[in-house]
Structure 1
Amino acid sequence: MSSRFRLSLLALGLALCTPLSQAASVSQSLQLSLPDSLKVPYSGVQAPAFAAGLPLGVGSGLTFAGVQADGSWLFYSLTDRGPNADAPDWRQGKDKLSGKIFVAPGFTPQILPIRVKDGQVSVGEPILLHDDKGPIHGLPLPVGTVGSTHEMALTDDLKAIDSPDSRGLDSEGLALAPDGSFWLCDEYGPFILHADAQGKILKKWGPEAQAGEQSVAGGLPGVIAWRQANRGFEGLALLPSGKVIAAVQSTLDIDGKTAKTAPILRLVELDPATGQTRMLAYPLEEGFYKKAKDAKIGDLVAVDEHTLLVVEQGKDKAKKMHNRLYKLSLQGATDLTGVQVDGKAPEFASLAAVTAAGVVPVQKELLLDLRDLGWQPEKAEGLTLIDAQTLAVSNDNDFGLDVTILDPVKDEKDPTEYQTDGTGQLLMDGKPVTSRLLTRPLSAADAASHLWFIKLDKPLY
């Protein structure tokens, strides 16, 4: 049975069908309010502030399932690893891990069916991701495991949460296969996964383990394990041939030296039928970002075998936020497998040096910036194609959760600038402070889930 929920049509100053740029117009802008039955329970220290629970964080992935017999549009949306927030570094003796607060550590990443028809929206029962051992969780992988982000999961009173195993997923991209099964990608490994229509994981691919690492899943190039923490695969597309292509969210940080300066991101293509892979160079616009690591992929979707649409987002040099939609051509792009420039990975070189070495990147054509159409959320993380001229875009609302520091030292309110030692005590530069960490709800506007339908001025095919 599906649940009904409120649909709000957001005014953009002009009628929504009025063109807002030469490239596109917004045909509908929906703000979704999910029923209380889908709220995520929260029983932490700040539970009174979340009396009704946390809003489900749909929108980390989006795929269109087609027009149904009743004329409705059916979509599937995806959550990420669950309600989490930045936290102080975890230190015990010489051990140091990045802290991450998980206020619902038992959360299972899930797929949510969404139908839109005649100004009404309904949602079906969530499809929980699981395997032969039971429900999947979203907690970080143990240190020493290939794909580990070297994070320590913490409660909101800064106590350690033990990850039960290496089955945790930070799910992001989503694509629906013709047989009704799902393809997903993950930020931890990064991993590519195939799940059946009921959410059971059938197979998992990940970077090959190096010496001393515990393997989780293999079959993908080992170099992508150099992804920045929480910057693994962020978008995934299913090509008509059945091949899958996933985008590393940001620049690789090879040997801890390339995140800020690498001129490219990497796209990874997998042929599930043969196991063959290739990697393609996605070039960044030189001088647009203050640091190359500021660029982030939001999602991607296939137009045809050689053409993708992708959301690239981040703040430019002037700290202005952008959510730019590009059309990519894969034709003629060089496979980066085994490619070096001056004896090193291409990430160590300039884009000019990379191309001079004979590497042909994917070709990018800027279509529009969602900000020019009135987009307000920071993240556009779901992208799907409805027809040759119509796109759908969704945001990640982070489960309506945020953290701040009370009584900050030197007005430092960023939790990641502090440390904790496992007792719940906050430290600054290793010394105890009186500051406290507070988990709090985001504003109603920031916690909202958005689904936009965008009409392009020219067909894509």
Structure 2
Amino acid sequence: MRRPLALGVALLVAVAGVAPGAAATGTRDFGRATLLKFASLPAETFVPGSEPSGAALGGTPSNGIVPPFADQPVQGFSGVVRNGDGTFEVLSDNGYGNKANSADFLLRIHRIAPDFASGGVDVLGGVTLTDPRGLVPFALTRPDRVLTGADFDVESITRVADGSYWLGDEFGPYLLHFDRAGRLLAAPVPLPGVFAPENPAGTPNLGSSKGFEGMAQSPDGKFLYPLLEGTVTGDAPGTLRVNEFDLARGKYTGQRYSYRLGSPDLAIGDMISVDRNRFLVIERDGGQGADAKVKRIYLADKRDRDRDGFLDKTLVADLLDIANPRRVGGFEGTFRFPFTTIEDVVILDDSTLGVLNDNNFPFSSGRTPGKADNNEFITIKLAERLHADPRVLR
């Protein structure tokens, strides 16, 4: 009697046009996204008249580029915020990959303007992050309290109603609150019970550089949802914690959600809000170029309709399989975004996303082997609408 029942369920799913794996939540993949626009910032772009950087790299060439550098690289975008005028704020991460080699990299928020007509990206300025009031409770690298990649590894950013920024850090992991001029407004907020190896306050139970890689803000501006990149010791492999933070109270609420990676060897690159219940999450492997296999954007729903204890996931875009019928950017056939780290997604309208890579200057070479990656900015049209909260579209 069980065989006919199983066949009946399979037939019902097939008739409904829903994949069997999606039947529990009533969701299905969006389908193939299409490349709309392409722009690129050259890898060797530096902040004019800034300070030397890269001394700890030892003069070893990477992808044809020899450090140290006379100025600060405009490097490695790990977070993005949309302005209302066609410009974007982008966050550079800790510099050259770890605490030990990034002491002369100054943490900075840049303002950029992609010029999709020419295919270029203009750097319009930015702010360097500082702690003039002495709010960081541990010793900083510099006596002038300018923050460096040896102090924090900033990987996510959101802007709140008063124009100030909240950043997610991986070394604590900490939440960091800065004003519009890049000045720290309060002491770093630790995540209770979670300690990265770079955090001197407790026994490490999180991998190095596995802290707050993504961070969403609720559309009503009341809560932050920072997402860890790594699994906390004792949690199931491939499970990532999303913690709710109350902005008015300045503390965590105790509410926690779980995001499950497609496999434990994958990582996330960013997370932003779509509405009060749904997020966009970049999920990726560590491959680049021809070795890149998983570079995806998922819609993650905290309502957990299948009751498995994890955010429900719907594939929104496969970044290695983007249609490009108009040969945007001079690329023919299927467009691939084949970078080691893709760490920026932003909603432009209800069916259009902006996506940027972290080029890990000068180490990554996903676009052309042996050549340092540029910072690329693409826009893609989704096959379906997001039905986003209007507040995130403003």
TM-score where L is the length of structure 1: 0.61
| Equivalent residue, structure 2, for 1:30 | 39
CA distance in 1, matches of 2:346, 2:146: 27
SS across alignment from 2:34: strand
Residue 362 of structure 2 corresponds to residue 459 of structure 1: no
| Equivalent residue, structure 1, for 2:77 | 59
Residue 209 of structure 2 corresponds to residue 200 of structure 1: no
* CA spacing shift, 1:299–1:229, aligned 2, 3 Å: same
Contact 1:171 1:185 in 2 (8 A): yes
Contact 1:63 1:383 in 2 (8 A): no
Aligned with residue 282 of structure 1, among 253, 259, 263: 259
1:117, distance to aligned residue in structure 2 (A): 4.4
| Equivalent residue, structure 2, for 1:107 | 105
CA distance in 1, matches of 2:210, 2:184: 22
| Equivalent residue, structure 1, for 2:245 | 270
CA distance in 2, matches of 1:205, 1:232: 13
**Equivalent position amino acid for 1:329 in 2:** D
Higher strand fraction (1 or 2):
1
Residue 224 of structure 2 corresponds to residue 233 of structure 1: no
Residue 257 of structure 2 corresponds to residue 296 of structure 1: no
Q: List per-residue Cα deviations over 1:174-217 (Å, max 9, x = no partner).
A: 11223221121011111112211111122331123799x99989
CA distance in 1, matches of 2:194, 2:214: 25
Matched length: 313
| Equivalent residue, structure 1, for 2:90 | 77
CA distance in 2, matches of 1:118, 1:395: 16
- For residues 329-368 of structure 1, the aligned pairs below 5 Å read 329-331=301-303, 360-368=309-317
**Equivalent position amino acid for 1:326 in 2:** Y
| Equivalent residue, structure 1, for 2:141 | none
1:269, distance to aligned residue in structure 2 (A): 1.4
CA distance in 2, matches of 1:377, 1:175: 23
- For residues 155-174 of structure 1, the aligned pairs below 5 Å read 168-174=151-157
* CA spacing shift, 1:129–1:116, aligned 2, 3 Å: same
Aligned with residue 279 of structure 2, among 282, 304, 308: 308
Aligned with residue 53 of structure 2, among 41, 44, 59: 41
1:78, distance to aligned residue in structure 2 (A): 0.7
CA distance in 1, matches of 2:200, 2:337: 38
Q: List per-residue Cα deviations over 1:112-153 (Å, max 9, x = no partner).
A: 1012346253222221111124311221xxxxxxxxxxxxxx
1:241, distance to aligned residue in structure 2 (A): 2.4
SS across alignment from 2:248: coil
Residue 225 of structure 2 corresponds to residue 245 of structure 1: yes
Residue 392 of structure 2 corresponds to residue 392 of structure 1: no
| Equivalent residue, structure 2, for 1:428 | none
CA distance in 2, matches of 1:215, 1:189: 5
CA distance in 2, matches of 1:210, 1:270: 15
CA distance in 2, matches of 1:324, 1:455: 14
TM-score where L is the length of structure 2: 0.70
| Equivalent residue, structure 1, for 2:169 | 186
CA distance in 2, matches of 1:234, 1:359: 24
Contact 2:78 2:343 in 1 (8 A): yes
CA distance in 1, matches of 2:277, 2:211: 23
SS across alignment from 2:321: helix
| Equivalent residue, structure 2, for 1:119 | 117
Segments of 5+ residues of structure 1 without an aligned counterpart are 1-20, 86-99, 140-167, 334-354, 403-441
CA distance in 2, matches of 1:23, 1:42: 40
CA distance in 1, matches of 2:273, 2:67: 39
Segments of 5+ residues of structure 2 without an aligned counterpart are 1-29, 135-144, 323-335, 388-394
**Equivalent position amino acid for 1:206 in 2:** P
| Equivalent residue, structure 2, for 1:379 | 341
CA distance in 2, matches of 1:36, 1:200: 22
Percent same amino acid among aligned pairs?
26
Contact 1:55 1:447 in 2 (8 A): no
CA distance in 1, matches of 2:286, 2:363: 22
1:443, distance to aligned residue in structure 2 (A): 6.1
1:252, distance to aligned residue in structure 2 (A): 1.9
